Amino acid sequence: MHDHPRPDHRCPDHRRPGHDRPGRGRPDHRRLGRELDLFDTDPLIGRGLPFWLPAGAAVRHAVEGYVRRAERLAGYRHVHSPIMGKRELYEISGHWAHYREDMFPPMIVGGEEFVLRPSLCPHHALVFRSRPRSHRDLPLRLAELGGMHRAELSGVLGGLSRVRAIQLNDGHVFCAEEDAGREVAAALAMIAEAHRALGVTASGYRLSLRGDGDKYIDDPAMWERAEVILRGALEERGLPYEEAAGEGAFYGPKIDVQITDPAGRESTLSTVQVDLFQPGRFGLEYIGPDQRMRRPVMVHRSVVGSMERLMAHLIEVYGGAFPAWLAPVQVVALPVSDTERHAAGEFVRACEEAGLRAELSGPEDGTLGARIRESRLVPYQAVIGPREAGAGQVSLRLRDGSRREPLPASEVVAWLSREAAPHR
C-alpha cells in the first residue's frame, strides 16, 4: 500500500498566472488552477473531488505518458484493476484492521459488502497470484495509474494536495528477498530521473519507521529485515536521509522522497516500500531454482506519487509557464489577418498530426499584439503574415520574447517536435 502522503506541516483567463500580479503573495495552485482553467470543483460532486478541465487534463496526460514510457523501459508491465473490492480482500491485506478509519464505509450489493479501495497493492497481489510463477518470472514488475479513495475529513482537504479520490502512479515488484535491495535502488534511480525531467527538486529523503501502538503489524523481526533492505539501498546510492519513527506504513518501513513547495511547505511526493507482510497474507509463492515453493518480497514504489499532489506542485513551481513538453498548448498559430487563416489552419493540422498540442487564435480574438500578449504562456507562437503564407513559411516567437527567422512550415513542425519532446 502507498500512503497518499500527508503534508508534513501538519470563463477565467487561462493565460494569466495569479502570481504575476502584484500583491497576490506566493503562488497558490488552487487560485492558479482556476485562473489557468486547469481544474475546478463543484458542490454537487463534493469536497475533495476535483475535476480536470481540458488544459489540466492535457498537462496530466503528458505526465502520464512520460511515466508509462519510463516504466516500460524499466521492465514494468501495465495492468488495470477495479477501484473497489469485497471487504474480505481488505481484511486479508490488513487494511480493515489497521487502516479502516481512512476508508469509506462498505456498500452492500447483492448481500455482499464492497469497499472503495484505499490502495492498489491488494489487487496487484491477486494479479501475481492469478498465475503459477517461477523464479524465471522474477522480478515481476507491475505498474498501474489507478484510482483509490481515502475518507479524508472536510477540515483537512485542500485543492489538489489533499483529496478523497486519488489517481496514483503505483507499482509493485515481486522478487526474491536477495534481489529486493537492487529493486529498491532501481526505483530510487527512476524517481530521481523523473524528478529531473519534471523539474521537481527533492528536498530530502526520509526513512519512515514503525511507531508505537496497534496501528503497526507486531512483528519486529519482519520490520528489521525490511529496514535493512531500505537502508542498504539508500547507502548504496549515497543518499543522506533522516529517520522518522511512526511514519511507516502499517505493514513495514518506507523511503519517503520529500519536496518543498514555493511557500516552503514540505510534503512527500514519491515513495519506495518493502513489504514482507502481504505476500504471506495472500499466500504468494513462486517455484525456486530447487523446485521448492518460496515466498516473494513485494516492493511498492510510486515514481511521481499521486497525479493530484504532483500537479499541485507543478502548478505552483511553474506558475502556468510549463516547459514545452508539459504545456497545455505547445504552439499557437497567429494569422495576421483573415487572409492567412487557411495557412494557419494547415499549420495547426500539421502540428497536431505530429503529436503537438496546437491551437489557432484568429483576428476575431483581437489585434495581433493583444493575441501575442494573451498567449504569452504558450511556449511557441507561430506568426503567419502575407509573406509567410505566400512562401509556405512560419515565423516563430518564443516565450522568452526571442524570434526565429521564417522557415518552411514542415521544418518548423519538425523542430517543434524535437523541442517539445518529453526528455527535454
Given this model, what pLDDT does residue 77 score?
A: 97
Given this model, what pLDDT does residue 1 score?
A: 53
CB atoms within 10 A of CB 11: 4
Q: Can you tell me the distance from the alpha carbon of 288 to that of 135, in angstroms, rounded to the nearest whole number?
A: 5
Fold of 331-419: Rossmann fold (3.40.50)
Ranges of beta strands (E only) in 261-392 are: 266-275, 286-287, 293-294, 297-302, 331-335, 358-360, 380-384
Fold of 18-318: BirA Bifunctional Protein; domain 2 (3.30.930)
Q: Say how far residue 373 (Cα) sits from the centre of its chain.
A: 31
Cβ atoms of residues 355 and 361 within 8 Å: no
Q: Is the peptide bond before 220 cis (omega within 30 degrees of 0)?
A: no
Helices (H), 36-175: 54-73, 87-93, 95-98, 121-129
For residue 167, the one-letter residue type is Q
Minimal CA–CA distance to 89: which of 245, 333, 278, 276?
Answer: 278
Q: Can you tell me the distance from the alpha carbon of 124 to that of 136, in angstroms, rounded to the nearest whole number?
A: 19
Question: Three-state SS for 147?
Answer: strand
Q: Can you tell me the distance from the alpha carbon of 338 to that of 389, in angstroms, rounded to the nearest whole number?
A: 11
Residue keyed to cell 490502495: 119
Q: Can you tell me the distance from the alpha carbon of 125 to that of 420, in angstroms, rounded to the nearest whole number?
A: 38
Minimal CA–CA distance to 304: which of 206, 199, 209?
Answer: 199
Given this model, what pLDDT does residue 27 score?
A: 79
Given this model, what pLDDT does residue 215 score?
A: 84
Query: Starting at the edge strand that comes first in sequence, how are the strands of the sheet with 380-384 ordered?
Result: 358-360, 331-335, 380-384, 393-398, 407-408
Given this model, what pLDDT does residue 18 score?
A: 39
306: which DSSP letter?
B
Longest dimension (CA), the chain: 77
Given this model, what pLDDT does residue 22 score?
A: 33
Cβ atoms of residues 358 and 352 within 8 Å: yes
Kindly tell me the burial class for residue 129, based on how many C-beta atoms sit within 10 Å of its own C-beta (0-12, 13-18, 19 or more).
middle
Could you state, in order of their start, the residue ranges of all structural domains in the chain?
Answer: 18-318, 331-419
Given this model, what pLDDT does residue 25 score?
A: 58
Q: Is the peptide bond before 139 cis (omega within 30 degrees of 0)?
A: yes
Given this model, what pLDDT does residue 138 score?
A: 98
Minimal CA–CA distance to 106: which of 86, 83, 120?
Answer: 86
Residue-wise pLDDT tens for the chain (424 aa)? 555 444 333 233 333 343 333 335 577 899 999 999 999 999 999 999 999 999 999 999 999 999 999 999 999 999 999 999 999 999 999 999 999 999 999 999 999 999 999 999 999 999 999 999 999 999 999 999 999 999 988 878 888 988 999 999 999 999 999 999 999 999 999 999 999 999 998 889 999 999 887 789 989 999 999 999 999 999 999 999 999 999 999 999 999 999 988 778 888 999 999 999 999 999 999 999 999 999 999 999 999 999 999 999 999 999 989 999 999 999 999 999 999 999 999 999 999 999 999 999 999 999 999 999 999 999 999 999 999 999 999 999 999 889 999 999 999 999 999 999 876 4
